Chain A
Amino acid sequence: MDLPPITNGFELVYQKPQTLTETPMHYCPGCGHGVVHRVLMEVIDEMGLQDRTIGVAPVGCSVFAYEYMNIDVQEAAHGRASAVATGIKRVLPDRVVFSYQGDGDLAAIGTAETIHTVNRGENILMLFINNGVYGMTGGQMAPTTLLGMKTTTSPYGRETSLAGYPLKITELLAQLPGSYYVTRQAAHTAAAVRKLKKAVQLSLQYQLLNKGTCFIEVVSNCPSGWKMTPTESNKWLEANMFPIYPLGDLKTPAQPMN
């Protein structure tokens, strides 16, 4: 029996962008990755950049980002996404290039590559998903794990004498002359998603104008790693993560730090 399309009699106002594939995402219920993938791909679709965009996927939960993004993608070694993106952008300067990394990837093992990519002012977008935990390997402590926060490798809570402090790498990167636009966003509410989308749009516009590195941190949740329901994790995000990682622009063309 052929069913009529569900949109019959209705006006189609919102649909999946063709820059996302049909592959069902493997992310846990409530995870922010799917939303960020969608926002990024929606902007690439709306700006007509699908045929000239190359993404770089990390090692972490979003290791399979290329299964969902209907664009050319390279899968990098752990921590090296921005070095791979540098290699691509330097030989194809007229393409749009972005890297997509989590906190362990970008702010622990890949710290040197992160800092030097931004310091060279590589003309790329670096997307940084910070949920304070290594999700894929099962919830270990990340450089951005909050003090007192329990993970599988900080079972009694992160403590400074052993593990130091939450690394605010975005603040650090904003100090570098090579960064052009540095912002911290979220993806857990409709309002946050709208702001994130604007940040992605600006970043890609700046990239088309060869302005330098654009860096977006998305402070996100990890219901599985935090051992919470999605709703609880979003409340915990607001109550605990945002005070340490406050949302907003750290550096804009109108308000450069340097």
Chain B
Amino acid sequence: MTNKVMPTLDKTEVRLMKGNEALAEAALRAGMQAYFGYPITPQSEVIEYLMAEQPKHKNCVVLQAESEVAAINMVFGASGAGARVMISSSGPGISLMQEGISYMASAQLPCLIVNVQRGGPGLGTIQPSQGDYFQATKGGGHGDYRLIVLAPGSVQEMADFVFEGFRLAEKYRTPALILTDGALGQMMEKVSLPPLGSLPYPDTPWATMGKKPGEKRHIITSLFMQPEEMEEVNMTLQKKYRLIEETEVRYEEFGVDDADVLLVAFGLVARICQKAMQQARARGLKVGLLRPITLFPFPEKRIAELSARVASVLTVEMNAGQMLEDVRLAVEGRCPVHFKGRMGGMIPSPDEVLEAIEAIAEKHNVELQR
């Protein structure tokens, strides 16, 4: 069963591309009107690709800013002026953007943010990681806000989720974030692309484009000095996030119907888990996989349902156990939740995951024999 509700795009062209390039090409085909960025490995191909292709897309501004701080504030201005805007970076750069992202969430401005994660904390490494899960899904900046977070698992999804990210950001007037990693950004795969103009532009009657005679002026602000008013704004935001949780949860699952052990993994790691699951099934172990596609909203209801049927859950991540906390909140103690993680730019191998599965299965057998 899947809950991969995406609008169908009419794909007209197949190309072999790097994940970062596929994402950039998809943004142009999605009618992006402005991109502001700053180089950082492992995502610099995004701005390089856009700069090279820009002459073919005269209606799209591509600007290299002096910093990620300046870039996100340029995104604020352009989005407030009604444009479809994207920005991309990796860990340290995304950290620098957090103030601006919080302002955009509060001012209810749509934009698409891309984090091609690298190993951290600190300057870290340029190798892939999922260490920014907390930052992406729990707010990241100051104040009570959420981002819509999409986690692609292939180069194809690096392209597809650009359309979906813009669509959701504009539908809910909130920033959306694609949380991917350095491996997906750098690896090459076949990708099918829709033609230019596949995503209609929304009406932006709230945008600052010049006060029309006889109409009220438009103000884009995140400043609400009266606490009563600030609470109202917070309630509006929370209502929006609840609506997103009700309507936009996406996930994909494999072999969960008869599973004793349920794997939960997102992005690149879900692909590794698919391989481990095949190997485990070949050895007679009943293993299923749930891949959250939206990390916010999180598929907590589905995980709760499945946790009542399986013996154990195993969460696999390229971090110290971040999504693990959301999985545990969803499971609510119905079954044990195990964790297998690699950190700092290391990628778990299918064999490592298989070992973890076998250890859990062994434990189950011992318990059954008692």
- A residues contacting B by CB (< 8 A) are 50-54, 56, 63-64, 66, 70-77, 80, 83-92, 95, 112-113, 115-116
**CB within 8 Å of A: which of B68-99?**
69-71, 73-83, 85, 99
User: Is B221 on the interface with A (CB-CB < 8 A)?
Assistant: yes
CA distance A86 to B82 in the complex (A): 14
Known contacts A72-B208, A87-B85, A90-B34; 18 further A-B pairs (Cβ under 8 A): A51-B210, A53-B211, A54-B208, A66-B219, A72-B209, A74-B219, A75-B219, A77-B73, A77-B100, A83-B73, A83-B77, A86-B77, A87-B75, A88-B80, A91-B33, A91-B78, A113-B70, A116-B65
The 10 closest A-B pairs by CB, nearest first: A87-B77, A72-B208, A83-B73, A87-B74, A84-B77, A75-B221, A87-B78, A80-B73, A116-B66, A91-B83
User: Is B236 on the interface with A (CB-CB < 8 A)?
Assistant: no
CA distance A66 to B224 in the complex (A): 13
What residues of chain A lie closer than 8 Å to B233, measured between beta carbons?
A: none
What residues of chain B lie closer than 8 Å to A72, measured between beta carbons?
A: 208-211, 217-219
Let me know if A75 and B100 touch, CB within 8 A: no
Let me know if B34 and A77 touch, CB within 8 A: no
Secondary structure of the B contact surface, majority rule: mixed
The tally of CB-CB contacts under 8 A between chains A and B is 128
Let me know if A87 and B66 touch, CB within 8 A: no
User: Is B61 on the interface with A (CB-CB < 8 A)?
Assistant: yes
Q: How far is the CB of B247 from chain A (nearest CB, A)?
A: 30
24 pairs, A vs B, C-beta closer than 8 Å = A50-B211, A53-B210, A54-B210, A66-B219, A70-B211, A72-B218, A74-B76, A75-B107, A76-B73, A83-B65, A83-B69, A83-B74, A84-B77, A85-B77, A87-B76, A87-B80, A88-B77, A88-B81, A90-B34, A91-B78, A95-B209, A113-B69, A113-B73, A116-B70
Q: How far is the CB of A32 from chain B (nearest CB, A)?
A: 22
- B residues contacting A by CB (< 8 A) are 33-34, 36, 61, 63, 65-67, 69-71, 73-83, 85, 99-100, 103, 107, 208-213, 217-223
Q: How far is the CB of B3 from chain A (nearest CB, A)?
A: 36
CA distance A74 to B34 in the complex (A): 18
Known contacts A71-B217, A75-B222: does B209 contact A54 (CB below 8 Å)?
yes
